[in-house]
Structure 1
């Protein structure tokens, strides 16, 4: 391949990064395939070469974060003790939130992306249900359910907040874990 000529994988990677940026600025519904093509400096046909619909692009943008979250939930489900499940899920969830701040911002604010979290993914029950089952347990204590909902939603909203975009990853991670532990009644690390 000649220098300066992008291959299909490079174009796809650039397309997804561009789509994420535009989705963050305009929402999924407010972003057109033409906007993505224009921002990339390619034709709309070049976008169609990689993806047939905007929903396919949105799914591909969300997929890395969803894959990581699925691995965290699966590992937490394998823990024998409830405290270990909670600690693993909390730590892993915070790590995913910090690593994918822009995507988490979309999960928190865009209905198209947020819907992906409430649908089954990869043939499994949706993340929200699986996470609540791990954090609340089978007895479904109302106080524990409220605390778990506030912890997960609060961590996601805070991690994706533009107000904290300048905060370094380690500081954000530490603060999110501290708040999550308090809400879930877990000891400090």
Structure 2
């Protein structure tokens, strides 16, 4: 059975992300990606013309999912359930994408690409804290929301927590985020 174009593209993106974790975006070349895949550089060019296109393609699915979480949260009229939805969705996204989040948090090359994508749309950087504490929140609540978001993103991929299974990490991150926001712990 031969690999389809989609399979090859998915393997290419997975390989690129793995190389980004070791060498960073700037330290990873298209030739390195081709070599790791066992294909020619021309085969990589068939799918992507530049490393920036690869980097965007690595990050875009998670960013689209985050935007979808916020779009759905915007339809929830009550602040408490809306905040809970964003917390649970964001934590789940971070846990399922530990490797990607780790690279975004530590690699300026991927962070730059993510910033470019984020700012091209209505900024999730503004929408997320507002969904958690409301658009008219005071400075302290706004700071707490931003600290909670950054803390979950950074904490969710720290090597010190790598031993935790996804469900345990998910539960602890959500609880920590709720504590930072002064929200009651969920009783599921």
TM bin, normalised by shorter chain, reads over 0.9
Contact kept? 1:23, 1:106, Cα under 8 Å: yes
Tell me the secondary structure at the aligned position of residue 78 of structure 1.
Answer: coil
What is the CA distance between 1:85 and its match in structure 2?
Answer: 1.7
> Can you list the C-alpha shifts for 1:33-62, whole angstroms capped at 9, x where unaligned?
111001001111100000001010011111
Query: 1:79/1:173 Cα in 2 relative to 1: closer, same or farther (>3 Å)?
Result: same
Larger mean Cα displacement after TM superposition, 33-42 or 107-116: 107-116
Name the residue aligned to 1:8: 5
Larger mean Cα displacement after TM superposition, 165-174 or 138-147: 138-147
Structure 1 CA distance, aligned partners of 2:18 and 2:61? 15
Structure 1 CA distance, aligned partners of 2:110 and 2:127? 18
> Can you list the C-alpha shifts for 1:94-121, whole angstroms capped at 9, x where unaligned?
0100111111111211223223443454
Structure 2 CA distance, aligned partners of 1:121 and 1:146? 20
What is the CA distance between 1:133 and its match in structure 2?
Answer: 2.1
Q: 1:177 aligns with which of 171, 174, 177?
A: 174
For the pair 1:96 / 2:116, whether they are aligned, the reply is no
For the pair 1:26 / 2:49, whether they are aligned, the reply is no
Q: 1:144 aligns with which of 136, 141, 145?
A: 141
Q: Structure 2: where are the runs of 5+ without partners?
A: none
Name the residue aligned to 1:59: 56
Contact kept? 1:117, 1:128, Cα under 8 Å: no
Query: 1:49/1:157 Cα in 2 relative to 1: closer, same or farther (>3 Å)?
Result: same
Tell me the secondary structure at the aligned position of residue 14 of structure 1.
Answer: helix
> Can you list the C-alpha shifts for 1:5-24, whole angstroms capped at 9, x where unaligned?
32222111110110010111
The alignment yields a C-alpha RMSD, in angstroms, of: 1.6
Q: Structure 1: where are the runs of 5+ without partners?
A: none
Query: 1:116/1:128 Cα in 2 relative to 1: closer, same or farther (>3 Å)?
Result: farther
Structure-1-length-normalised TM-score: 0.92
Structure-2-length-normalised TM-score: 0.92
Query: 1:140/1:115 Cα in 2 relative to 1: closer, same or farther (>3 Å)?
Result: farther
For the pair 1:113 / 2:115, whether they are aligned, the reply is no
Contact kept? 1:97, 1:156, Cα under 8 Å: yes
